[in-house]
């Protein structure tokens, strides 16, 4: 077996890399801060923004509309309207913003900005125009939202999110490495099938991984831009790009050093990702996948495939319950549903392309409506307990006893949650 060299090796290389990324991080953070100071120095700002999501909330006996918006310069923010308005999801609004009270950390994440709606534009962005095409294939609003999230990274309503949480399949709707991997296989596989006979006949000296891979990277990059660059998908895309380059140069990619390299580069280039829950959940999921692969190096592939989803479900439970309290017995369905998703995702793409995207709507709606909401418990993991789990997870990289303790911790935590809803 040929051992591939790591991307970065030795204390000296890691120290130099750390200095470079730290300097870049500070430089980018300073640039964002200057942009923030210019932003809040304005009493009011006129801009156009796209409505990603709209829902109604109540407070003190009065209802109002909450809008999640994407400005044309790429900033996502929330605003409200106390006046009754129709559903404007997918429409472009002309707005007047009052940004004075926004803090720097809010600016880096998704701030709330008071505003006045000046008008509604008729034109739609390419993403929202495609979303309208997808919506036409579905009668149920939940199905329209589900496929908008699955294909275009659009946010979903609180009601649908609660149903998805009951089934434990939030990760299937949040575009990440799982989806990017499938897209790479689809695009690269299709292009390779076309490229191979041409290569054999006209240019046998060319490298298929270089040519087809570069084109695939370009296609996936356009898709990333098209979906508004969600943090979890950006992390996945960066790993695909670095992984493709590493394969070309014969460098190891299934390693924790590779993951650390990608995370450090992304944080240096995009400091706002420090505040992104989706990004850190994505990183945590990949860390536990790598940890599992390190433990099961001698296992047969079918054994790894069947047990990986169970491991990821258990390993992510403490991470999820640090942020989200909901737990129900129906979340165990996420394990087989994740396995089925590997077939469902490309098939649903194909069905939408030929105009039959709503074929499975009845089954999916029945699945979403099946779990009773009362069969759940709410538990947020204390920070000190999560610290113990994090320490065990890091020690498990090097120590066999820590691995057993980590698994024991997970089983006890899972049994505790089950007991809460029993």
pLDDT of residue 34: 95
User: Are 91 and 116 contacting, i.e. CB atoms less than 8 angstroms apart?
Assistant: no
Query: How confident is the prediction for the chain on average, in pLDDT?
Result: 88
Indicate if 338 and 217 belong to the same structural domain.
yes
Q: Does 246 fall in a domain?
A: yes
Q: Give the separation between CA 313 and CA 50, rounded to whole angstroms.
A: 35
Judge if 231 and 380 occupy the same domain.
yes
* Assigned domain for 406 exists: yes
> 318-363 pLDDT, tens per residue?
999 998 888 888 888 888 888 888 889 989 999 999 989 999 999 9
Distance between CA atoms of residues 317 and 4, nearest Å: 33
Of 72, 92, 124, at which residue does a domain stop? 124
Best-predicted range by mean pLDDT among 172-186, 311-325, 369-383? 311-325
Q: How many domains does the chain have?
A: 2
Provide the strand spans (E) within 150-305. none
pLDDT at 123 over 50: yes
Per cent of the chain over pLDDT 70 is: 99
Dihedral (CA of 288, 289, 294, 295) sign: positive
Same domain flag for 316 and 374: yes
* ∠ Cα 338 165 364 (to 5°): 60
- For the record, the structure tokens of 409 come out as 């911790």
Give me the phi and psi of 25, to 5 degrees please: -60, -45
Which residue(s) pair with 115 in the sheet? 97
> Which helix (H) or strand (E) covers residue 417, if one does?
helix 400-421
Q: Is the pLDDT of residue 109 over 70?
A: yes
- Across the range 231-240, mean pLDDT stands at 86
62-71/76-81 β-pairing: antiparallel
Residues 244 and 317 in one domain: yes
70: nearest Cα among 154, 156, 180, 173: 154
Are residue 239 and residue 350 in the same domain, yes or no? Answer: yes
Residue 255 has pLDDT above 90, yes or no: no
Residue 84 has pLDDT above 70, yes or no: yes
Of the two residues 39 and 8, the one the predictor is more confident about is: 39
More confident residue, 84 or 263: 263
Paired tokens of 192 = 């390779």
Please say if the pLDDT value at position 216 is more than 50. Answer: yes
Residue tagged 């310069």 (tokens): 73
DSSP 112: B
pLDDT at 3: 61
pLDDT, position 393: 94
At residue 343's C-alpha, the angle toward residues 339 and 347, to 5°, is 150
pLDDT at position 254: 74
Same-domain status, 300 and 353:
yes
Give the whole-angstrom CA distance, residue 39 versus residue 106. Answer: 12
> What's the average model confidence in pLDDT over 146-168?
90
- Is 185 among the domain residues? yes
| Claim to verify: residue 109 and residue 195 sit in the same structural domain | no
Residues 293 and 368 in one domain: yes
> pLDDT tier at 143 (50, 70, 90 boundaries)?
very high
What's the pLDDT score for residue 415? 93
| pLDDT value of position 1 | 43
Of 17-21, 193-197, 259-263, where does the model show the most confidence? Answer: 17-21
Residue 22, number of CB atoms within 10 A of its CB: 13
Q: Is the pLDDT of residue 289 over 80?
A: yes
pLDDT at position 296, please? Answer: 84
Question: Tokens 């789990």 appear where?
Answer: 389
pLDDT tens across 24-78, in order? Answer: 999 999 999 999 999 999 889 999 999 888 888 888 778 888 899 998 877 889 9
Domain that holds residue 49: 42-124
pTM of the model: 0.85
CATH number for position 113: 2.40.50
Are residue 396 and residue 319 in the same domain, yes or no? Answer: yes
pLDDT surpasses 80 at 5: no
Residue 190 in tokens: 């299709």
- Distance CA(342)–CA(306), nearest Å, equals 13
Helix 277-295 vs helix 301-323: crossing angle, to nearest 10: 150
């Amino acid at each position: 077996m040929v051992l591939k060299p790591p991307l970065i090796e030795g204390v000296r290389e890691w120290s130099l890399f750390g200095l470079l990324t730290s300097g870049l991080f500070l430089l980018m953070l300073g640039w964002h801060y200057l942009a923030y100071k210019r932003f809040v120095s304005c009493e009011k700002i006129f801009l156009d923004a796209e409505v990603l999501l709209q829902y109604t909330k109540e407070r003190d006996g009065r209802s109002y509309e909450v809008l999640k918006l994407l400005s044309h310069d790429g900033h996502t923010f929330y605003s409200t309207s106390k006046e009754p308005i129709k559903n404007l999801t997918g429409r472009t609004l002309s707005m007047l913003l009052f940004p004075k009270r926004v803090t720097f950390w809010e600016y880096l994440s998704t701030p709330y900005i008071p505003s006045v709606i000046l008008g509604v534009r008729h034109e739609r962005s390419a993403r929202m125009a495609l979303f309208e095409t997808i919506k036409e294939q579905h009668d149920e609003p939940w199905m329209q939202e589900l496929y908008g999230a699955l294909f275009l990274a659009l946010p979903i309503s609180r009601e649908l999110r609660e149903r998805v949480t009951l089934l434990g399949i939030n990760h299937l709707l949040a575009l990440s490495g799982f989806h990017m991997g499938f897209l790479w296989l689809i695009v690269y596989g299709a292009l390779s099938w076309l490229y191979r006979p041409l290569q054999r006949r006209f240019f046998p000296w060319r490298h298929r991984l270089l040519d087809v891979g570069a084109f695939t990277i370009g296609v996936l990059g356009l898709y990333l831009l098209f979906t508004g660059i969600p943090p979890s998908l950006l992390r996945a895309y960066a790993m695909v790009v670095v992984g493709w380059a590493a394969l070309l140069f014969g460098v190891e990619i299934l390693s924790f050093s590779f993951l650390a390299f990608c995370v450090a580069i992304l944080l240096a280039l995009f400091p706002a990702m420090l505040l992104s829950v989706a990004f850190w959940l994505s990183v945590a999921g990949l860390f536990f996948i790598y940890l599992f692969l390190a433990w099961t190096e001698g296992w047969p592939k079918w054994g790894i495939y069947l047990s990986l989803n169970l491991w990821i479900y258990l390993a992510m439970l403490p991470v999820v319950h640090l942020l989200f309290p909901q737990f129900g017995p129906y979340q165990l369905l996420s394990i087989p549903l994740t396995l089925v998703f590997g077939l469902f995702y490309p098939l649903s793409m194909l069905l939408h392309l030929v105009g039959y995207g709503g074929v499975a709507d009845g089954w999916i709606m029945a699945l979403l409506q099946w779990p009773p909401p009362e069969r759940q418990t709410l538990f947020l993991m204390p920070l000190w307990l999560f610290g113990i789990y994090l320490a065990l997870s890091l020690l498990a990289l090097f120590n066999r006893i820590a691995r057993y303790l980590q698994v024991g911790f997970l089983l006890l935590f899972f049994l505790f949650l089950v007991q809460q809803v029993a």
